[in-house]
Structure 1
């Protein structure tokens, strides 16, 4: 049960400075989720490379109080996630903007109404379009009693993505899964981690004392949205399994979401930190000992490399980022996807050998340091360049749509 922990090799773009890139996303900081964090890093990186990035996103609650050059569109709160917004259709507005200032390439980050209308506008104008597959919306349906929607959602996503020059995915495993569903022109572009921000040196004794932990108290951490699709019951079960070995083991959950009240009733002894950002989040990572992550709905899971960069031993399923970055028993431990018996057994093993857990964390840190964002940006630029110089295989995806 091993996997490579090196980032996939990316093609090298013959880059010219000053591409005009329109990035369309329905989530962006200060919203807290993996897509927002990743795309903000990409936008910053592209601008640092000299590209002109037009960021198109829904208007957020705090925009009236801050200066921004982003193109702000109408949006609505997402049901059950009032802190997140969904963009509304804006084909006419985007046609007007892009006729006045034509981008070289359009990058669709999300597949909501705003993303779909951006695709329509770009195709009418004959603009090259690339897309990301960042959220397994179809996999969420079973966690909300909506399994009957799985096939229509897959059909919608396939219909959108197959009309772009390429769809970037973070792992080869996801590439294979989507190809089996009929998705075309899939390109693996890995994700990076800021190994300077997420660093073992930020470990805080004061924070551990707030958690009721001294230097010898094992602390199990999980970071992410508190929602049914995150499989947090398995994290709680892993913590209880570790507490069988060492009753002093503490559980810390960082994040918020609709499942918080239920989880507080399920694990009243756990510490719920709520949403944390920036240095406060980095201190939470570095001040723990083991990172337990049980989600099986991630396309990647940025929290895994963040935990690795922070020097934590990671316990996860062989899925998404963990399946790509962790070599079992070398820089973390992996259970087969969905095998909770093995997941709990590995949790007990980590609890019984703290020195080994620390060694895994040290090796994880070394792995994370190789996940350089510059390499990732080069891969994205290569996909932009390919879209701007289409091959015969992508010409049908790029053909302008007829009016109406």
Structure 2
């Protein structure tokens, strides 16, 4: 079987209406599949003002917004146009990118029609509960996810550490890796600008600690703010740059009154801001991969991060950055203080991270998913 024989139906709860690492990876994947001659149809909510243009042909799936997170939408209905279009498209493989209502229905359709299903894991949904005081729901979420993934033919995970957790949780047996690449034309150390820093009151010798990503509680905002407070108590001079936007911005700004908030940046503006920092702090434990970590490494920044799934496959402790027990505020402060006191250590770890980022080629990475499609389709034909 050749790539040109594939007809792929991709179901995604968020393909392009909010900009994050997961849906940008999906768009890159679709671009690669189309380049290889595969036919792809995307089933996802469509909005009037998406965050960026979609790659490929989309079919609108009815959806509703989450009351507490209005920027996100939940696909709600498979029957009607989505199902009719799917049956007319006649896919020979279905890819589900989020375990929502419509994805469950799509898996049911696929099983009834003998079509194999590949699921991709982009985040650890069950870990979100701790940030909203709903820890008691974690076993329920895991049970729902286990049932969902057991009905799929294969899973692709973005990091070996994430795959190991999925195996330990008995989510699936057939798990392959679909890591993430980085656009090195966009993210690179040459983007660093001392003029950009000075225009924002950041001195050439100031240690600029960067937060990069959606400003939401599940990114570990409380730990980030607490670590900054600890640095202040120790008398470690530093400044904070928050790159991103989200519903928790007001609270985060209250906890970091002296921080510089850029809001959401894209393209060259984003790359320049990241490269103009000195160290990335990423305390999130919800990452399945950590795209922002790789982007910072591509800019030559060392990374201080939670020792959690996804990040542990990017950050080599004592080589490209420092890994810290997830909620150990003092340990985060220790790592940041070490970089503040030793610019040579900062430069050495940043250079090692840059070397690693140079190995992350998007086409090679996306080909791994293509090979999974071909394998499951071939296996289903032989059975």
Q: CA deviation at 1:162?
A: 0.8
2:71 is paired with a residue whose SS is: strand
CA contact (8 A) 2:40 2:57 kept: no
| Correspondence 1:215-234 to 2 at 5 A | 215-234=204-223
Question: Do the aligned residues in 2 keep the contact of 1:81 with 1:257 (CA within 8 Å)?
Answer: no
Contact 1:202 1:282 survives alignment (8 Å): yes
The aligned counterpart of 2:322 is: 333
C-alpha contact 1:308 1:361 (8 A) present in aligned 2: yes
Taking a change above 3 Å as real, the CA distance of residues 15 and 377 of structure 1, as seen in their structure-2 partners, is: farther
CA contact (8 A) 2:162 2:310 kept: no
Assess if the C-alpha contact under 8 Å between 1:89 and 1:116 holds in 2. no
Cα pair 2:8 2:93 within 8 Å, conserved: yes
Q: Distance in 2 between matches of 1:45 and 1:280?
A: 25
**Against the structure 1 CA distance between its residues 241 and 142, is the aligned structure 2 distance closer, same or farther, given a 3 Å change threshold?**
closer
Residue from 51, 54, 72 that aligns with 2:38: 51
- CA–CA distance in 2 between the matches of 1:117 and 1:317? 35
Q: Which residue among 107, 115, 133 is the counterpart of 1:119?
A: 107
Pairing of 1:5-404 with structure 2 (within 5 A) = 15-62=2-49, 69-184=57-172, 185-243=174-232, 248-390=237-379
CA contact (8 A) 2:161 2:310 kept: no
Return the alpha-carbon distance in structure 1 between the equivalents of residues 118 and 79 of structure 2: 17
Output the CA distance in 1 between the equivalents of 2:380 and 2:104: 24
Q: Distance in 2 between matches of 1:306 and 1:283?
A: 11
Aligned-residue offset at 1:237: 3.2
RMSD: 2.3
> What stretches of structure 1 of length at least 5 have no aligned partner?
1-13, 396-404
Bigger mean CA offset, 54-63 vs 241-250: 241-250
Output the CA distance in 1 between the equivalents of 2:184 and 2:271.
10
Deviations 1:174-230 (A, max 9, x none): 222222222112223222222221111111233212331132221110111222211
8 Å CA contact 2:160–2:310 kept in 1: the answer is: no
TM-score (norm 1): 0.88
Structure 2 spans left out of the alignment, 5+ residues: none
**CA offset at residue 34 of structure 1?**
2.0
Contact 1:221 1:285 in 2 (8 A): yes
**Number of aligned positions between the proteins:** 380
Equivalent residue, structure 2, for 1:8 = none
| Structure 2 length-normalised TM | 0.92
Does the Cα contact within 8 Å between 2:3 and 2:374 map onto a contact in 1?
no
Of the two structures, which has the highest relative contact order with CA contacts closer than 8 Å and spacing of 6 or more? Answer: 1
SS in 2 for 1:197: coil
